[in-house]
Amino acid sequence: MYQFTLEILFKIIGIGSASGLLLNNDSLFIISDNSTFLYEYSIAKKEYTKIKLLENSQENIPKKQKLDFESITQKGKALYIFGSGAKPKRERQIIYNLKNQKTEEKDLTLFYQKLKSSASISDKEMNIEGAVFYKNDLILFQRGNGDGAKNGIFIYDTKKETSQYKAIVLPKLKTVDATFTDAVLVDDTIYFLASAEDSKSTYKDGEILGSLIGSINTKTWSVNFTKQITETQKFEGLAFYKNSKESIEFLLCEDNDTEELQSNIYKLVLKKQ
């Protein structure tokens, strides 16, 4: 069983509802599910800049109107940001070019519809919370916190433009199944976060029952391990930080489901067996 330590590394005032993290050199990129800005935080300078993802970017967008950006990943010199897909307005992708700082918006309605059909997932159950590029595949993590409990991964071949869905059942935290909240690729292994929330809705929040970390084997798409890391917090963002012979480290963020403009960034250290 993995041993771990979890601590607050720093606090960022001015960013609320953090839902995804990505570390690129000294820059920690942060997305928020109720904002249409991308935040670039300099760890060395301890300050951040706001990057407009849309022409009229906003913060603290009301729940019914938000675009619900939940996933961020990197391929080459571009960052890919995905909406959750839980509603039509949440079926968007933003691509941010790190080299020229330009953004491109894409409508994912048809793409998400094909994914939903392939896995028999209803419109209201679609809830993409994590994204990872691995070789030719785009791996999307479906959080199964709806009535149908459809928790799993979409494996989309970007060259053949074909997809497959694999259901993944995670341990219960208290009486509720943990479901995916984010993922990151480290070498040939995918590490993921999952949390349990006492609600059968992808829209309504419920009592938080804890979060866990685990990993997936990219050859078999099976779960290698899971480890509960908190009984009270809902961690939604996961970024790779450091790797050594003794341990692997990640940065985490939590969505406290409030309008408070503060984000706590945690460091999770997993000791290797």
**Whole-angstrom Cα distance, residue 39 to residue 246?**
32
Is the pLDDT at 11 greater than 90? The verdict is: yes
What is the pLDDT, as a whole number, of residue 261? 84
Percent share of the chain, pLDDT over 70: 95
Cα-based distances in Å from 238 to 29, 105, 117: 11, 24, 28
Cβ neighbours for 93, distance < 8 A, ≥ 6 positions apart:
80, 81, 82, 83, 105, 106, 108
| Tokens linked to 104 | 């491109």
Percent pLDDT > 90 in the chain is 85
| pLDDT for res 202 | 47
Structure tokens at 24: 């690129």
What mean pLDDT is reported for the chain?
A: 93
For residues 67 and 87, the answer to whether their CB atoms sit within 8 Å is no
Amino acid at 39: Y
Task: Give the whole-angstrom CA distance, residue 178 versus residue 49.
Answer: 34
Strands 152-157 and 162-167 come out as antiparallel
* Phi and psi, residue 39, nearest 5°: -105, 130
Tell whether the model's pLDDT for residue 155 goes beyond 60.
yes
> Stretch 168-176: mean pLDDT, rounded?
94
Nearest Cα to 14, choosing from 66, 83, 6, 37?
37
**Pairwise CA distance, residues 42 & 152, whole Å:** 34
Q: What is the pLDDT of residues 230-261, one digit of tens each?
A: 999 999 999 999 999 999 999 999 876 666 78
Q: What strand order describes the sheet that includes 18-24?
A: 18-24, 27-32, 37-42, 47-52
Q: What is the mean pLDDT of residues 17-38?
A: 96
Confidence grade of residue 273 (pLDDT, cut at 50, 70, 90): confident
| Whether the Cβ atoms of residue 170 and residue 142 lie closer than 8 Å to each other | no
pLDDT, one tens digit per residue, over 179-237 is 999 999 999 999 999 999 876 554 456 789 999 999 999 999 999 999 999 999 999 99
Q: What is the pLDDT of residue 147?
A: 79
Q: Does the pLDDT of residue 102 top 50, yes or no?
A: yes
Q: At residue 32, what is the residue type?
A: S
241 Cβ neighbours under 8 A, 6+ residues apart = 23, 249, 250, 251, 267
**CB-based burial of residue 210 (10 Å sphere; 0-12 exposed, 13-18 middle, 19+ buried)?**
buried
Quick one: which H or E segment has residue 3?
strand 3-13
Instruction: Indicate if the pLDDT at residue 94 is higher than 90.
Output: yes
E-only strand ranges, 175-219: 176-177, 179-186, 189-198, 207-217
